[in-house]
Amino acid sequence: MTQPVHVLYTGGTIGMQPGPRGLAPAAGLDLLARDVQQQSPALKEVPEWEFTSLSPLIDSANMTPLQWINIARATREAVEKGASGVVILHGTDTLAFSAAALRFWLMDVSVPVIITGAMLPAGAPDSDAWENFFGSLTAIADAAPGVGLYFHGTLLPATRTRKVRSHGRHAFQAVAGDSGPATAPADRFNFDMPDKAQQVGIVPLYPGFDASILTALIDSGRYGGVVLECFGSGTGPGDDPAFMAALERARQAGILLVAVSQCLEGGIMLDIYEAGQQLRAAGVISGGDMTRETALAKLHFLLHQASLDETRRRQLMETNLCGELSPA
């Protein structure tokens, strides 16, 4: 007999209830779901499921990389106990970040893992909670092993999806691109869950960018990598000596700088413009058409691979590991 799907509840809007200071994550979502399923004949064919909650339940605005690791650990434990799949319930604000991170940390899992959430709490008028909850349970039967993101009837790629709307059912959208088959790396990745998360930052460029922002981050000594949100196909203020000096400081400190585009489609091509070539010459790594969420998650994952040196990490950032990059 097929083992039940394990539902892992981390918090988020899907299970929130009104409190004295507004909506907040609450227990009891599993009881509500059982009641809804029993009252709906259409849900009788949903796969069997079991339910656990992480503690504490959180608003996903409070999600951290260490909690990604805790979610990945709990997912692995469920799989080791025989779960036929795992559905992770998560807040929507940082859902795309967590989906990308889990896609890397659970790259080797042998069962499908689907992460979902809701824009309105279960029980609220016109809520999307149950369509996403039970939709994920149904979708998992035909899903491939690995992590996917389910929302409003569609199973989306975990490393190529962004939250594009703050209201409404159609909150998530897959980013255009053709990643093709993933390239199996020669390295053996370590999927042991670390107890401490590496620090990675995101710095968006803008007209008149103050390079001291980037310099301060580099000089703090806390960051192993930084995602630079660049203009267009990968340009920045290359005629600003302070900005170029900050890039050089990062290279000397062994801090990985990865360029992603502020555009929704197209990605980074550092060799087109002189300003882009300046970034490449300063040691900036091309993030191709990765989203900022995925670039951040991939940097975290690779920085935790102690067996990799800086050169190999740079190479792997530009290598399609699990569908995050289109061919160059």
Over the stretch 82-120, which tens digit does the pLDDT of each residue have?
Answer: 999 999 999 999 999 999 999 999 999 999 999 999 999
Please report the domains of the chain, with CATH numbers, ordered by start residue: 5-174 (3.40.50.1170), 200-317 (3.40.50.40)
pLDDT score at 218: 94
Catalytic residues: 13, 92
Q: pLDDT, tens digit, for every residue of 256-277?
A: 999 999 998 889 999 888 889 9
pTM summary value: 0.94
Return mean pLDDT, the chain: 93
- Rounded Cα gap, residues 288 and 290, in angstroms: 6
With a CB cutoff of 8 Å and minimum separation 6, the contacts of 262 are 204, 205, 229, 230, 231, 232
With a CB cutoff of 8 Å and minimum separation 6, the contacts of 287 are 227, 258, 259, 260, 261, 267, 268, 295, 317
Asked if 115 contacts 83 with a C-beta cutoff of 8 angstroms, the reply is no
Q: With a cut of 70, say whether residue 68 has pLDDT above it.
A: yes
- Rounded Cα gap, residues 258 and 225, in angstroms: 8
- Residue 220 annotated in ligand binding: no
With a CB cutoff of 8 Å and minimum separation 6, the contacts of 281 are none
Q: pLDDT, tens digit, for every residue of 179-205?
A: 555 665 655 798 888 888 889 999 999
Q: Provide the Cα torsion 129, 132, 133, 138; round to 10°.
A: 150
Q: With a cut of 60, say whether residue 142 has pLDDT above it.
A: yes
User: In the structure, what pLDDT confidence band is assigned to residue 328 with cuts at 50, 70 and 90?
Assistant: low
> b/e for 192-212, b at 16 or more Cβ within 10 A?
eeeeebbbbbebebeeebebe
- The residue type found at 112 is P
- Rounded Cα gap, residues 202 and 252, in angstroms: 19
Q: With a cut of 80, say whether residue 56 has pLDDT above it.
A: yes
pLDDT score at 1: 44
- Residue 60 annotated in ligand binding: yes
The Cβ of residue 237 has, within 10 Å, a number of other Cβ atoms equal to 18
